[in-house]
Structures are given as C-alpha cells and as structure tokens.
Structure 1
Amino acid sequence: MTRARVRPGPAIVHSGIGAIDELPELLRRDGVTRVLWVHGAQALRAATPFLPDLGTVEIIDAGFTSECSPAEIARLQHLATARGADAVLGIGGGKVLDTAKAVGHPLSVPVYLVPTLVSTCSGWSAVSVYYDEEHRHLGHEIWDTPTRGLLLDPRIVFDSPVALFVSGIADTIAKHVETRAAFDRSDSADTLTAFGGLAAARCGELISRHGITAVDDMRRGVRSDAWTMLAEACVITAGLVGALGAEAGSATAAHPIGDALSAFAPTRDLLHGVKVAYGILVQLAYERRWEEIDRMNELYAALGLPRSLADLGLSVQDPATLDTIAEIATGEHSSARLLTPPPSAADLIATMHALEVRQSRLDNVVLAHHPLAPPVERNIPMAEVESFTLDHTAVLAPYIRLIAVEKGPRGDAISNFDVRFVQPNEGEIPTAGLHTIEHLLASLLRDHLDGVIDISPFGCRTGFHLITWGEPAVADVAHAVRESLAAIATDITWEQVPGVDEISCGNYRDHSLHSAREWSKRILSQGISLDAFSRVGV
C-alpha cells in the first residue's frame, strides 16, 4: 500500500479544443462572484479571442509584474483581500500560474489556471517556484490544497513562441532523467508511486518518438497529433510525475545545475528549459549513461538545446565557472543530494570536464530563444527619425502611409511606406508569425508591385517598412499588400515558405505559418485603409 505523501493535482481538468468555454459554468458551480485575474499583457492578448463571457462575475484585473517573487505575491494578496476576491484566475506561463497558486492557496480561495504556453507543468503541479526581481532562484513551496481547475485549450497555446515549447520539452525530459533512479529503487507495491514512474517513462518515450516532429509541425503551423501529445505531456504527464511519485518524483541534479547557470550574465536570461537541458547532460554523465547522451545529441541539435558549455557562451577552461556551477548545484538544500551517491562539488566538476571532452567533437548549436530585448538608454545626440515623430495614438490601423520620397544624386526616387497592420500600443504580431509574414511578403509583393527593394518589420511588431524604387501610388501598394495577405491566409503551404532552414535564415526556428495565416485573415477582415488617420478605401 502507498505510504508516500501524494501531491495533489487539479481537482478538475479540461483539456482540448473549447476547454476554456467551461470556465463560466465552473465559476458558477463554485459560487464565485469576484475573481482576481493574474496575467501578463501578452498572455491576456493570446487568450482574449477565446475567453468566454463570465456573466455577473466581477473581474479584478491585477496584471503581473514579471516574476513570481515575494513582493509580487504580497502585492496581489493585498489586492485580493482589499477587493474581497473569492477566487484567483491565472492566465499565462509558468511564472504567472505559480504566482496565482501562491496568492490563492494561502488565502484559502479556489485557484483556476489557464496556460497560454506549454513550457512547464506549472498548470498541473502543486508547486510555486520563487525568484527575486533579478530572476535569481530563491526556492519553492509545495501546496497541500489542489488547484481547483486546469483549462488547457490548444487554441490558446498553439500560437505561442516555438522556443517556449522547446523549453517545455526540455523540462519534460528532465522529469524522466531526474526521477528514473529513484523510481527504480522505489517499492513496486506502492501503486501511486509506480504510476508516477510510468508517467516519467512516458515523458521520455513521447519526446524520443515525437519531439522533433512536434516542434517542426508547430513551426509549420500544423496542430498535429504529435504536437498535441507533446503539449499535454509537458503540462499534464510531467505534472503527474511529481503528483503521484511523491519523493521519488522530485528533481535531482539537472534542475539545480540549470538554476546555477542563472548566476552568469551570458546564461541568466536564457529560457529555463534551455538551462535545464545542459543539467540533464551533466546528470547523465554523472550516472555514466554515455550512450544515452549520444542519442540525445541529435534531438538537442534539432531543437536548439545546448550540448556543451560553449553552446551556452561559457568555457570549461574557466575554473571559476565550474566552481560556481558545482557549488550552487550541490548546496545544502540542493535536490542533487537525492542522487545515490550524492555528488560533491568536486564530483560535478570532474563530470563536466569529462562531458565537455566528449562533446568537443560536436558542432555548436544555435539555442532556442524567445527574443525579449530590453530598452537601451542613450545619452548621445541622435538624428530625428520621422517614425518617432508620428503620433501613434492618432492613427487607425490597418493602413498604408507614404512616409517620404528620397531623391538620389542622379534624380532616382526611393519611396518609404509605413505598412501598419496592428493598432499601435494595442497589440503586436507574435515574432514567429511576423517572421513568416516577412519572408512571404518579400516574395509575394514582388509579384504584384514593381520596384520593391525591401520589406522589413517594425521593432514594435505592428507592421513593416516597405522601400521601393520610384513613386508607386498608395492604392497600388495597398492592392499588392491585400493580394499577398490573401495568399498567405488561404493558399500558402509550409513547403512554399522561403528561407526556413539554418542555411537561409538567421533564426529559422522562430517561424509559424499558423500565426501568419491567422494574422493575415484578421488584417484583411479589418480592411486596409489608404489613409493613416481615417478609414479610406476600406
């Protein structure tokens, strides 16, 4: 009979197309009248098209700062108490969902979770992982109270960045690698623990079989069976490992090593799963599973996961780097101590040396990443740029706007157009979809408009600069853009998207034809105006 303490999963789970539609009835049955919404801005935009009307339930829009930190949890708990919230709804990725749990459970109110990413098992797990405002790991907390409801809707999560899916896959590999030895040692008569072990093995099996295909399908905009299985594995199956496996389902060495990488500037801002992926290889090396590392290398290269310290921008030749990783990963409260035998700092240093020697024959990997560029402060004189003098609150997107016509020394004219697809400061096209639209417009526009020099996306992701020879009419540019978007929305297949491999693209993993299609349809449905400040020719 099972004696181990089982960590509860969600009391109610809806997974599949339309899962979010169950939210109003779930709140009604639970008698919820006032719910605290915890969400990031991008997460809410991803979910908004699918969120149902909550009827008479009052929404307290609390937002989210950026970290599951003690300060943010305290802020949200104060708001929930002051406004009399009788439930918490988390909409977002792992940090948001962990925060929602940390806010609601101590207040003894039900917590409902809507993932917008499949990058962690936070939607299932009864754990909140804490960081400070600089994203330094502070620890975690395990909750006795189960989450009231998990609503995993593929329509919401499929359009998320592919890199975050890759991060989730790496985190799910860790569920298998980190717990295997403990499950092998556990009492086979402990039924629930045994099921936790089966869940961990299933994580490894699904990723080995379908990992590369699932990621490629997501890049191509195909919501395939492989993608669906991996998405549920990252959230649900991975969550079952800790929920049923109890102590045997705990992290061991891979996660502490990944957390230790946050101590270095080159790796601090890397995705969680990318850092854990290197920890997985170190743990496998410590366990002398060299053949498994060799099998992992192909998967890692295809997904953009690090196979060496060099891939992470670190050097095995730097003793301070190895010392820091080893000391943090084997600290007093580290889960690496759950390994048998527990590694010392010297053991981990020797293991990393052996691993790096073995991996030195491999080519470098371009890491999966989700670009989040912080603003750059400049204190030097800068030329005035027309785009920055435009009143972005006065325009009405979508539109085509002639910015300027420049004349060369021999009288040649070059026109610069503002091709605005999204209303400024009210939304943005996700990077993967924008990237794919850019590649397609580069080709399709030339079929409908003479003299195209370049089409380049705005950094704000609300549209494009179009540069042409001559002085084409705005109406002709609008016609060419409409025809191109119509082809993207209905006709283009993944095989027709140019420049989606590592030879022809500088970030080939960050593409989504599905996102490009959906945004093209949305832009066309709104109509493209011939005037930036009024709706003309729509």
Structure 2
Amino acid sequence: MTHSLIVRGAPQEYVCQDGAWATLPEHLIKRNLHKLLFIHGTRSLKAATKYLPDLTSFDLVNVHYGGECCDEKVAELRTRFVQENCEAILAVGGGKIADLAKQIGHQLQVPVLILPTLAATCAAYTPLSVMYNQDGSMDRYDIFPEAIALTLIEPSVLLESPIDYMIAGIGDTLAKWYEGDAIIHQLATVPVEVQVAHFAAKKCQENLLAYGTKAIDAMKKGELTTEFITVVETNILLAGMVGGFGDEYGRTAAAHSIHDALTILPQSHHQLHGNKVAYGILVQLMLEHNPTEIKALLPFYQKMNLPMSLHDMDMVLTQKEYQAVAKRATIAEESIHLLAEEMTAEKVITAMQELETMMQA
C-alpha cells in the first residue's frame, strides 16, 4: 500500500477536566472572538445549559439543529453565518453537530470550537466530517487541512448523557484496533507516525476491554470515576489519534464499510453509528477468517449489550437486501479494500450470513 501520510494529530487546544466548560469565555477572549454561530440540538442544549458559563457578553446566533449532517444544511448555515457577520462557530452537541460545524468552518475558513455532549464518536477531536444524504444514507467523509480550534470536554456532562450513546461510542472506538491493525499489519516498514497510530489503536482496545463495563456502571451510579474519564478520553482522544497519526493506514477498514452499507436500509437508521460499526467488526473478522477472535469478543459484547448480529439490531434482510448492502460495502472507494484479501460482494454476503448462523447456534 502506498497511501499518502499526513499527520493531523489533534485540535489546536484540547481540555478534558472538571470545570472545563467554565473556561470557555477565557478561550473566546484570547482568540478575540465576540460573535459566534452557536449550533446545538434541542436535547444537547438542555443537557448542557447548567454547565455552560455566562456568555451574555458575547453575541450568539442560535441555531437549533437535529437532522443530518448534509450538504444542504451546510449551505444553509454557511449563508446564515455570512449574513449575521459571525466570526467563529461554537458547536454543542453530538457527532453530527460537530461534523456540521467543521464542514462549515472549513468552507468559510473560520475557527470551530466544540463542546461535546456525547462520547459516542471521536468527532470532537478529528478534522473530518462524515457527510450524509438527506435520507440518512451515508455519502462520504471529507478530511480538512485545518484543525479544530478548541475542544472542551466537561466530564460531568458526559456522565449524564444517555448510556446507549456511550456504549455505541465504545463499539465505534473498539473498531480502531481491528481496522487499524488489519491495515498496518500489511506494511513491511512502519513509519513512526503509523507506529503512534498503532499504539493508540491498541490502547483503545485495552482500555475499553479493561474499563468499559466500569465506565457504564459509573454512569448508572452517577459517579465521576477515573475509569469513566479514561473511557471518555479513549472514545474521543485516543480514537482521534489513530486516524490523526495513521491517516489512511489508521482510519477505517471493513467494519466501517459495513456500517456505511447498512445506512442504505431505512430499518438501520434507528441504530446508532457505533452499534452498526460494532457489528461490522464481527463481519470483518469473519471476512478475515478469524472466528476465534469473534468468540473472544462475545463476552464483552454481551456485557455491553452491543449487537452481535443483524437479529440483535431487529433487522431481517431479504436476499435482495443482502446483495444491495454487499454491493454498497464493496464499491471502489470503500475502505474494505484495505484488507489483505481481495473483497467482493459475494464474500461480504457469505460473511454476514455465516455470522448470523454462528450467533444463532
């Protein structure tokens, strides 16, 4: 493999500590920012309000948004930004709001500040946006040359976030190891940057297997524990480092291709991103002829209530739907082709169906 290798290691500034959000005014002042397009969801703003500092000395243009991160919405909010003479974008919410903000920020070349209310993806850390179509199907992901200006993580906000989203984040982050290792393992010589990505990917797996269940227990009890914060930073910082340092060698492989393909089915849209990726890990392992690792992961999946099959996601596919998903998973630009073995739609169908049989045995 001879992909380009560009390090996009981290946001310009990253803070994760109790009281981090209270420092937001200081960060705005030192950046000389006064008027911001404030993008947030209805639920995310409700969760965030008691932790947000007094921002009355700043001019905020409020945008409530809870739809897809799509080109149409980017164009609309880009126009709004210009009309209102804003200087920067402040995003409070989950991954799609963060990705929306980053896409607008890139197009307008303005700073983006992100305060995540979920630890379901590494979107608050990475300079890329996953773009969807208006119908909820995945379109593409765009990588930007600009880093996020500021990522402020308030652990208490995430402690109170929906547990299902944290679990989905664990599923998404677990894929960093299985996808990254499958690609990096093929390299005869591993550049230092990719070594960093490989280390971060392994730490993702180790941290999640060691502390994942403890983090969920902490959320249920409302206790801000070291294990909880470790998992939060694993889902956001460590996960972001894998692609940030590894670039195409550390971003995605088959697990995310399976996720992308499932989004063409409307019955998959109620499933969180990380759940579909977690299922995709098992399909990837089946494609790699590694049922032993699947069996080793199953106890963790069961404890975390991660889906182990289509059946677990309440999805029963017709043969026509299997064919459509497999065809979408193996389009030329999909990362499934980064696996060592040549991938075809037929192999994907076989792997998915064999996994269903294995899980129902």
Q: Cα distance, 1:269 vs. partner?
A: 1.6
| Distance across 2 between alignment mates of 1:84 and 1:275 | 39
| Distance across 1 between alignment mates of 2:190 and 2:138 | 36
Deviations 1:361-420 (A, max 9, x none): 2xxxxxxxxxxxxxxxxxxxxxxxxxxxxxxxxxxxxxxxxxxxxxxxxxxxxxxxxxxx
Q: 2:23: which partner in 1?
A: 22
Q: Is the 8 A contact 1:36 1:61 kept in 2?
A: yes
Q: Is the 8 A contact 1:285 1:351 kept in 2?
A: yes
Deviation larger for 207-216 or 31-40: 207-216
Q: 1:494: which partner in 2?
A: none
| Distance across 2 between alignment mates of 1:206 and 1:169 | 10
Q: 1:342: which partner in 2?
A: 342
Q: Is the 8 A contact 2:183 2:253 kept in 1?
A: no
SS of 1:332's equivalent in the other structure is coil
Distance 1:55 1:264, change over 3 A: closer
Say which structure is richer in helix.
2
Q: Cα distance, 1:266 vs. partner?
A: 2.8
Q: 2:122: which partner in 1?
A: 121
| Distance across 1 between alignment mates of 2:266 and 2:63 | 31
Q: Is the 8 A contact 2:138 2:264 kept in 1?
A: no
Q: Cα distance, 1:60 vs. partner?
A: 1.1
1:325 is the counterpart of 2:288: no
Q: Is the 8 A contact 1:266 1:312 kept in 2?
A: no
Within 5 Å, give how 1:477-496 maps onto structure 2: none
SS of 1:106's equivalent in the other structure is helix
Tell which has more relative contact order, 1 or 2 (C-alpha 8 A, sep 6+). 2
1:101 is the counterpart of 2:113: no
Deviations 1:46-68 (A, max 9, x none): 11111112353211112214111
Deviations 1:402-455 (A, max 9, x none): xxxxxxxxxxxxxxxxxxxxxxxxxxxxxxxxxxxxxxxxxxxxxxxxxxxxxx
| Distance across 1 between alignment mates of 2:152 and 2:333 | 33
| Distance across 1 between alignment mates of 2:342 and 2:33 | 47
Q: Is the 8 A contact 2:121 2:236 kept in 1?
A: yes
Q: 1:47: which partner in 2?
A: 48
Q: Percent identity?
A: 33
SS of 2:276's equivalent in the other structure is helix
TM-score (ref. length: structure 2): 0.95
Q: Is the 8 A contact 2:128 2:142 kept in 1?
A: yes
Q: Is the 8 A contact 2:218 2:225 kept in 1?
A: yes
1:348 is matched by which residue type in structure 2? V
Q: Is the 8 A contact 2:215 2:231 kept in 1?
A: yes
Q: Is the 8 A contact 2:252 2:335 kept in 1?
A: yes
Q: Cα distance, 1:287 vs. partner?
A: 1.1
Q: 1:196: which partner in 2?
A: 197
1:328 is matched by which residue type in structure 2? R
Deviations 1:321-356 (A, max 9, x none): 321221111012211111112311111112223222
SS of 1:128's equivalent in the other structure is strand
Unaligned runs of 5+ in 1: 362-538
2:338 is matched by which residue type in structure 1? L
1:256 is the counterpart of 2:257: yes
Within 5 Å, give how 1:229-240 maps onto structure 2: 229-240=230-241
1:293 is the counterpart of 2:256: no
| Distance across 2 between alignment mates of 1:222 and 1:31 | 37
Q: 2:168: which partner in 1?
A: 167
SS of 1:56's equivalent in the other structure is coil
Q: Is the 8 A contact 1:314 1:321 kept in 2?
A: no
| Distance across 2 between alignment mates of 1:187 and 1:47 | 47
SS of 1:59's equivalent in the other structure is strand
Within 5 Å, give how 1:385-464 maps onto structure 2: none
State the superposition RMSD in angstroms.
1.7
Q: 1:155: which partner in 2?
A: 156
Q: Cα distance, 1:44 vs. partner?
A: 1.0
Q: Is the 8 A contact 1:336 1:342 kept in 2?
A: no
Within 5 Å, give how 1:491-510 maps onto structure 2: none
SS of 1:10's equivalent in the other structure is coil
| Distance across 2 between alignment mates of 1:188 and 1:205 | 24
Alignment length (residue pairs): 359
Deviation larger for 165-174 or 290-299: 290-299
1:35 is matched by which residue type in structure 2? L
Q: Cα distance, 1:149 vs. partner?
A: 0.3
| Distance across 2 between alignment mates of 1:81 and 1:300 | 46
SS of 2:73's equivalent in the other structure is helix
| Distance across 2 between alignment mates of 1:186 and 1:20 | 42
Q: 2:283: which partner in 1?
A: 282
SS of 1:263's equivalent in the other structure is coil
Deviations 1:269-306 (A, max 9, x none): 21111111111100011112212111211111222211
Q: Is the 8 A contact 1:277 1:306 kept in 2?
A: yes
TM-score (ref. length: structure 1): 0.65
Q: Is the 8 A contact 1:65 1:72 kept in 2?
A: no
Q: Cα distance, 1:133 vs. partner?
A: 2.5
| Distance across 1 between alignment mates of 2:71 and 2:239 | 26
Deviations 1:78-104 (A, max 9, x none): 111011111101100000000010111
Q: Cα distance, 1:183 vs. partner?
A: 2.0
1:283 is matched by which residue type in structure 2? Q
| Distance across 1 between alignment mates of 2:134 and 2:304 | 29
| Distance across 2 between alignment mates of 1:8 and 1:60 | 30
SS of 2:78's equivalent in the other structure is helix
1:90 is the counterpart of 2:66: no
SS of 1:185's equivalent in the other structure is coil
Unaligned runs of 5+ in 2: none
Distance 1:259 1:81, change over 3 A: same
